[in-house]
Structure 1
Amino acid sequence: MLPNISTHQLINQNDNEWFTCADINSKQEIVCGTDQGIIYQTQLPSNGKNSTYKQLIGHTKLISDICYYDPNGCYILSCSADKDIRLWRSFSSNSITIYRSHLSPVWCLSVHYKSDRFASGSMDQTVRLWTPDRLNILRTFIYHSDDINTITFHPNGKYLASGSNDGSIILWAIEQAQPARILKSLSNIEQLTFTSDGNHLISISHNNNEQKSDRISIWDIRSANETNLIENIPSHRRLLKSCQIQNTNKFVTGFNKSFLFFDINNQQEKNDFFRSEFSNEYIQRLIHLSSNESNKLIAIVE
């Protein structure tokens, strides 16, 4: 049975600008980044009112990742191809803090609310650990030999997983800044998501060959075993980060106008998944997927 899906469409009046990433908080405020380095924040309309938006200006190149920093959605964290990471107050035009340490574009961010820390991954092949009240990094994690595309905190906050174009997934012991596990794949690691119990990682990898296919796998952190869940997914646009539907073993990801739903407990047959597409012809593609406490799936599209 599919969850109830709430769809929010972003419409950009600038034909020379396209959305690259987005997030939504519990107050139904959407923040999104563009390839021109502009961040837009909007409150979803209610009571017949028109939605308004705010521009958050500071980055000078493509916004590569963006998220609400705190559970209440009062702060926003963004990173960019301009090498900067910026912290913003919600609906404020200017950034509060600029974090500068990476030597190359910063591709990904992850936040651990309980420990008040965040991490960044970059083209410079490093993962860096930060806390918002310090401009200097807490730790630097070095092992990868290519761009880092994705990072995610373990639910307990003691570990951090990173995935790279070098085909490796590193599970880092944060306090020691050393690899606790090294998982090897045969293709670029694009997205990582921990299961809620922290025992498994969902990975999305991309084969950058002529067929340009994607694969979704589940890794057992304790044994380092990989099980392929879905293989040979043709995609002209790469899959979004997988999202766990609250309190279930079901996950969803997507690309273009398609959702892919899969159950990590049903691993007997490969390619056992359900695909659904938007029927609205005015929707161009998915930008972001998340799930709220009532198991409603939230889709942000353009």
Structure 2
Amino acid sequence: KGGKLYFDLINKRSVESLSYLVIHPHQGFIYSACFSHDGTKVASCGASKTLKVFKSTSGEKLAEIQAHEEEVLCCAFTYDDRLIATCSSDRKVKVWNAEQGKLLRAFAEEHEEQVNHCEFTNTARRLLLATCSNDSCMNVKLWNLNKPSSQNTMFGHFEPVNHCCFSPDDSYLSTSCNDGTVKLFQVSSANEWKTIDVRSMFADGEEVIVKCSTWSPDSKRVICAARNAVLVFDVESSDLLLEIRTNRLSMVQYCHACPTSNLLAIAFSNYALELWDLENSKKKADCSGHLSWVQRVQFSNDGSKLLSCSDDQTVRLWETQKVHTSSAIGLKRDSDVLFNNEEIIVSAADNCNRLQVRDGRTSSVLFQSEEMSSRIRCTCLSRQSSAVALGQESGSVQVLDIPSGKHLATLQGHTKTVLHCRFSLNGQTLVTSSEDTTIRVWKWQSGECTVLQGHKEQVRCFSLLSDSMNDSSLLSWSFDGTVKVWDIERGERLQDIQAHQGAILSCHVSPDRCLFATTSADKTAKLWSIQSWQCTHTLRGHQECVRSCRFSWDSRRLTTGDDNGEIRLWSVEDGSLLKICSRDSKGGMDSLHGGWVSDLHFSPDDSLLVSAGGYIKWWNVVTGEALQTFYPTGSALKKIHVSPDFSTFVTIDNIGILYILQRVV
């Protein structure tokens, strides 16, 4: 809040090749964003009815304008960056002074339906503004800003026109329409020059709406987006030169050609943003990170930067030369972290199915295994030795020495995927759980094994009831709705608790070892006494599956997080609700945490709470106020590893990027 930075990324060098800036300028969907011609500024607009301008290097806000009475659908700079045009669902087109935010022109009379797009000519030769709308006939117009009414209306489309775009030399204007065509108009005469029938490139009977068009730098090719395809046409002959098709479940939302190279940016409905080389028709990079539909992409005039805006309320900026290629090595989210004084050791599988052990501070690889024949699904580091264990889809468990990579043990017994593994505190015992419904307790150096059987569905996780070397009690929970307590030395089941009607999604033991908590797909959380094994309180109020829980260190509070992004704080003593953290910005997607709340941790003094989901958020426990939000490039964080002093935070996102964050105040 107030610009104060509490936590910062310390492995910046390893992620600097991804989006270098993520900005949240608006509450609500962002429909359009554009660079100024000199590349120093970005303007954005959307459902908030406002136009905002900010620095492209830092995200610092330069201007905020209450632009229209309804959603603002597009914004565009003039070639000299002095003016910005906006158009809206309110049927109006407005022109603003970019520096002072003053309204200079309002064209309110001519378009009868929403105005979808606006764009200025590219050069100083003649300043014109083009607009297109949902009007049935008079839907494409050219405006001279010195005249009170439009200079020309371009006739030819009889259905909504979604987009209009000047050729780089300003000779032509391309228009993209719901009728399945792209028309090219001569700017000088406002007459139609030719029609490209995009609809004919698809099967009969398919509805073909052309979303947008963009021009190659030499004005010889026009590129358009329709359905699940990007199509490149020769301007002179109208011949199809190239088509890029995605799967039929993903639609192309927008595309933009780089003004200085053969690169094309494509936004897809599955939230993806890709860079393609039009010369050899190869995908060059994936720019992942958005959490909802990407509405617009644009290169800067010099081609060095790329921006994207999305329904997730963010504008992301990328350095064109630094984005990761799609073949980049990424890590899987099922990871383990060892905090040892100043050391941070991270263990995770990579997308080539090798186990990697990394130095968290430098991101350097300390150990990398050979590629495994069966997919690695979980991993854990020993706290006492240099051993690392991994569980595989085949049911096999392997133990390796790091950094030598020496093979220490292969443990066979599970018949299905190993979902979780954990060394005991002394490192002599390894516990594993599986989709085969069993838990296995291994004396891994000898291969001796005790099997804990009783669950009816997969066992995704378990927890030792105590950190004591002498305590051999283990708590396990399952999608079968039960919690079971085991003596792992004797292999005996001590308790069998029918805890929930739905699958149990998380469980946590209080630090004072008096209680444990369970959360479930039945939308409740429960508190249980370890002495009596009876439920002491049922915590109701979540509207979705309760995904995660954590006791405070003083064992007096419990926090729970659900699949709607809501975080609740409860009193352990009487089960009363103390606070709902996520209601600090009603109606905004930011309050929804960008997805499920998958993990929660209190600071040692219980004054702060960190939560992981689509984002990472830090909270003031007393006020329920969000102190800071960290937006990863990807999303869907499964877990956040927190150092004992609450100073360092480690996580991996769904596109394989490792983040190490450290407290700075």
1:115: how far off? Answer: 4.3
Question: What is the RMSD computed on CA atoms of the aligned residues?
Answer: 2.4
CA contact (8 A) 2:418 2:435 kept: yes
> Does the Cα contact within 8 Å between 2:603 and 2:646 map onto a contact in 1?
no
SS of 2:509 mapped into structure 1: strand
Per mean C-alpha deviation after superposition, the further-off stretch among 220-229 and 182-191 is 220-229
Equivalences for residues 1-302 of structure 1 within 5 A: 2-4=343-345, 6=381, 8-11=388-391, 12-13=395-396, 17-28=416-427, 29-45=429-445, 50-72=446-468, 73-184=471-582, 185-186=591-592, 187-205=595-613, 214-234=614-634, 238-247=636-645, 249-254=647-652, 259-265=658-664
Distance 1:84 1:15 in 2: 21
**Structure 1 residues 247 and 183, CA gap change in structure 2 (3 angstroms):** closer
1:108 is aligned with what amino acid? S
Equivalents in 2 of 1:113, 1:25: separation in Å? 18
Where does residue 277 of structure 1 map in the other structure? none
- After superposing the two structures, state which structure 1 stretch, 50-59 or 108-117, moved more: 50-59
TM-score, structure 2 as length reference: 0.36
**1:286 matched residue in structure 2:** none
- Output the CA distance in 2 between the equivalents of 1:43 and 1:10: 15
Q: Displacement, 1:239?
A: 3.4
8 Å contact from structure 2 (residues 553, 606) kept in 1: yes
Letter in 2 for 1:10: L
Q: Which residue of 2 aligns with 1:270?
A: none
- Is residue 193–residue 241 contact of structure 1 (8 Å, CA) maintained in 2? no
Q: Please, which runs of 5 or more residues in structure 2 have no aligned partner?
A: 1-341, 347-380, 382-386, 397-412, 583-590
Q: Match of 1:3, as an amino acid?
A: I
**2:604, 2:646 within 8 Å by CA — same for their partners in 1?**
no
1:16–1:74 Cα change, 3 Å: closer
Contact map agreement 1:127 1:142 (CA 8 A) in 2: yes
Per-residue deviation, 1:255: 6.0
In 1, Cα distance between equivalents of 2:551 and 2:557: 6
Structure 1 residues 81 and 201, CA gap change in structure 2 (3 angstroms) = same
Structure 1 residue 148: Cα displacement: 0.8
**When the two structures are aligned, how many residues end up with a matched partner?**
252
* Contact 2:511-2:551 within 8 A present in 1 as well: no
Cα separation, 2, equivalents of 1:164 and 1:106: 13
Post-superposition Cα deviations, 1:19-68, rounded to whole Å, max 9, x if no partner, equal: 223333312233222122111222353xxxx4433221111101133100
Partner of 2:558: helix, strand, or coil? strand
Whichever residue aligns with residue 124 of structure 1, its letter is: D
> Residues 157 and 188 of structure 1: is their aligned pair in 2 closer, same or farther, counting only changes over 3 Å?
same
Q: Decide which structure has the larger Cα Rg and report it.
A: 2
Find the residue that maps to 2:581 and give its secondary structure. strand
C-alpha separation between the residues in 1 aligned to 2:538 and 2:492?
28
Question: Are 1:120 and 1:127, in contact at CA under 8 Å, matched by a contact in 2?
Answer: yes
Rounded Cα–Cα distance in structure 1 between residues aligned with 2:460 and 2:517: 14
TM-score by length of 1: 0.75
For 1:138, the aligned partner's letter is T
| CA distance, structure 2, for counterparts of residue 113 and residue 224 of structure 1 | 22
CA distance in 2, matches of 1:240, 1:89: 29
The 3-state SS of whatever aligns with 1:78 is strand
Native 8 Å contact 2:549 2:559 kept in 1: yes
Counterpart contact for 1:215–1:233, Cα < 8 Å: no
Unaligned runs of 5+ in 1: 206-213, 267-302
